[in-house]
Amino acid sequence: MKITDLKCAILGNNPVIRITTDEGLVGIAAGESNKSYLNPMIMFYRDLIVGKDPTDVERVMLSIRRLGAFKPWGTAVSMIEMALWDISGQAADVPVYKLLGGKIRDRVRVYNGSIRFPLEGNQPEHYADAMGKMKALPEAFSIIKQAVGFHDSMYSNIEDFYYGTPVTEGRYPNRGPMTEKGFKHLIRCIEAMVEVLDGDVGLALDCGPGMTPGDALRLAKSVEDMHITWLEDMLTGDYTPYVLSDLYLQVTPYTNTPIHTGEQIYLRQNFVDLIERKAVNIIGPDPADVGGLAEMKFIAEYADLHGILFAPHGTGDGLLGLAALVQLAATLPDNYIAFELPSGDTKWWYDILTGLDSLVVKDSHITVPDIPGIGVKFIEQEATKYLKESDRDFFDD
C-alpha cells in the first residue's frame, strides 16, 4: 500500500487532513480548533510522505518528525501520525488500540475539558456558580478543571492582581509577581469552588503560565488542605516553546499539591528533563501537538517508570481528536488519570461524522469502541456543505 495524497481543509476552525492510499483506504485527523492558519505548514509535508507505505508508521514519521517544533508547529506532524494509525487500523480491520499494544481498560476516564460555563465575572461567587452548573451536568464528571489567575481573565479584570501591565490581545505572555490583594482574591475564588464541589468531585486548576516560582509555591502550599487534583501550567505551558524544569524544581519538591504541565511540549526528548528530574507530578501532552499517539504512549510509559502521573491535554482537538484520545487512553499504563474532553466547536460537527454514538460520556467515562481505525468517518455529503470554496476538492480522491 502506498500514500497517494495528503489534503488539508479548514472545517469550522479545525485544520483537518485526509491521507489517501492506492488501495482506497483513507486516514483522517484534526488539529486544535484555534489553528486555522496551519494549512501551509501541513502541506509542507505532502511530498515527504507520498509514495510511502502508511502502515509503516514509524518509518514515515522518521522522515518528518524532526521538522516539527513546539506548539503550534508540531500539529502537522501529529495529525499525520494519527491519520496513519487510522489507515493502519482499517487495513488490519482492528481498532487503533490493538496496534498500540491492546487495551488495559474498557472505559477511559475524562474530565470536562471543552465543556465550560462562561463566567459572569471573576468574583468568588461567579466561580462557585460555574462549579454548581458543572457538577450538575449529566456527564457526571469526576474531575472538573477551571481556569484561574493568568489562564483566565482574572489577571486583567481584578485591579492590581499582579505587578504588571495586563495585555489582553492575542496570546501575549502576561507574567509577573502577584500582589497580596491578587493572591488573596485567587485563594477566595478557589475556596468558593472547593466548597461547592464538597469533596464529591476533584478540582483541577489551570493557572497560567505567568506565575513566578515563589507565587507558584505559595499557592501550592496554601491549597494543600483543599486536596486540589492538580495545579496546571503555573510557570510554563500553553504556547510557551520551552520547558524550564529548573523552575518547577523550585516548587514541586516542597509541596504535596500535585503540579502539572506539558501541553505545549513536542516529542519525547523534550520530556526527559521533566520526567527524570521529577520536576512535576503529572504531565499532560496533547496528541495533536506532541507528535501523535505512539509518541504519547512512549512518554506515558517512561513517566510511569519514574512515578509520574499522566493526564493528557486535548480540549481543542475536536471530535476526531476525541476518537483518537479514546483509542490511546485505553492502552496507557496505570499512571493514567483522565484526559481533557474535546468536543465539536459547532453543532454541525455532530452531523458530519459516523461513530459518535460510541463516544458518549457516562459517569465521567467513555466506553472504548471496537470500530476499525480511530472509529469515526466523515459523512462526506454532509461535511461538504461546510467546506470553504478553496477546499471543495477535499473529498476528491
Per-residue pLDDT tens digits for 331-365: 999 999 999 999 998 999 999 999 999 999 999 99
CATH number where 383 lies = 3.30.390.10
* Residues 346, 387 share a domain: no
Q: Are 80 and 184 contained in the same domain?
A: no
Query: What percentage of the chain carries pLDDT values higher than 90?
Result: 98
The grid coordinates listed for 304 are 510511569
Q: What are phi and psi of 324, to 5 degrees?
A: -70, -40
Q: Are residues 76 and 104 in the same domain?
A: no
Look at residue 267 and tell me if it is in a domain. Answer: yes
Report whether pLDDT(170) > 90.
no
Grid cell at residue 293: 499517539
Mean pLDDT within 265-291: 98
pLDDT, position 265: 98
Rounded to an integer, the average pLDDT of 77-81 is: 98
Are 292 and 78 spatial neighbours (Cβ–Cβ below 8 Å)?
yes
Indicate whether 144 and 260 sit together in one domain.
yes
How many Å apart are CA 253 and CA 237, to the nearest integer? Answer: 19
Per-residue pLDDT for 141 more than 90?
yes
Residues 277, 252 contacting (CB under 8 angstroms): no
Report the phi/psi class of residue 12: left, alpha or beta, with left for phi > 0 and alpha for psi in -120 to 50. Answer: left
> How many whole angstroms separate alpha carbon 342 and alpha carbon 71?
17
Residue 354 and residue 386 in one domain = no
Q: Is 319 left (phi over 0), alpha (psi -120 to 50) or beta?
A: alpha
Task: Establish if 396 belongs to a structural domain.
Answer: no
200 and 116, same structural domain? yes
| Single-letter amino acid code for the residue at 185 | H
pLDDT at 395 over 90: yes
Q: What percent of the chain has pLDDT over 70?
A: 100
What is residue 21's three-state secondary structure? strand
Read off the pLDDT of residues 191-245 as tens digits, 9 standing for 90 and up.
Answer: 999 999 999 999 999 999 999 999 999 999 999 999 999 999 999 999 999 999 9
The C-alpha atoms of residue 60 and residue 54 are separated, in whole angstroms, by 7
Task: Identify the pLDDT of residue 247.
Answer: 98
Q: Are residues 369 and 298 in the same domain?
A: yes
Examine the pLDDT at 176 and tell me if it is beyond 90. yes
Q: Report whether 219 contacts 231 (CB < 8 A).
A: yes
Cell numbers placing 51: 509514495
pLDDT in tens, 116-133: 999 999 999 999 999 999
Give the chain's mean pLDDT.
97
**Domain-located, residue 197:** yes
**Could you tell me the CA-to-CA distances from 229 to 135, 195, 318, 366 in Å, in that order?**
15, 14, 25, 20
Same domain (yes/no): 360, 385: no
For residues 338, 319, 1, 296, the Cα torsion angle rounded to the nearest 10 degrees is: -20
For residues 156 and 270, membership in a common domain is answered with yes
Note the pLDDT tens digit of each residue in 370-388: 999 999 999 999 999 999 9
d(CA 307, CA 251): 17
Q: Examine the domain organization and report whether 157 and 70 are in the same domain.
A: no
Overall number of domains in the chain: 2
* In 127-201, beta strands by DSSP E: 143-147
The reply to whether 397 falls in a domain is: no
Check which CATH number belongs to the domain holding 123 and give it: 3.20.20.120
Task: Compute the distance between CA of residue 125 and CA of residue 121 in angstroms, rounded to an integer.
Answer: 9
Scan for cell 501532552, then name that residue.
Answer: 285
320 touches 29 (CB < 8 A): yes
Using CB atoms within 10 A of its CB, is residue 235 exposed (0-12), middle (13-18) or buried (19+)?
A: buried
pTM above 0.95, yes or no: yes
Q: Are residues 58 and 102 in the same domain?
A: no
> What is the span of the domain harbouring residue 88?
3-94+379-391
- Per-residue buried b or exposed e for 101-140, using 16+ beta carbons within 10 Å of the residue's own CB: eebebebbbbbbbbbbeebeebbbebbbbbbeebeeeebe
pLDDT at residue 397, as a whole number: 86
Is the omega angle on the peptide bond into residue 372 within 30 degrees of 0, that is, cis? no
Q: Which of 89-93, 167-171, 187-191 has the lowest mean pLDDT?
A: 167-171
Q: How confident is the model at residue 56 (pLDDT cuts 50, 70, 90)?
A: very high
90 and 122 housed in the same domain: no
d(CA 219, CA 364): 28
Mean pLDDT for 153-171 is 95
In degrees rounded to 5, what are phi and psi of residue 19? -105, 120
Distance in angstroms (rounded) separating the CA atoms of residues 89 and 28: 12
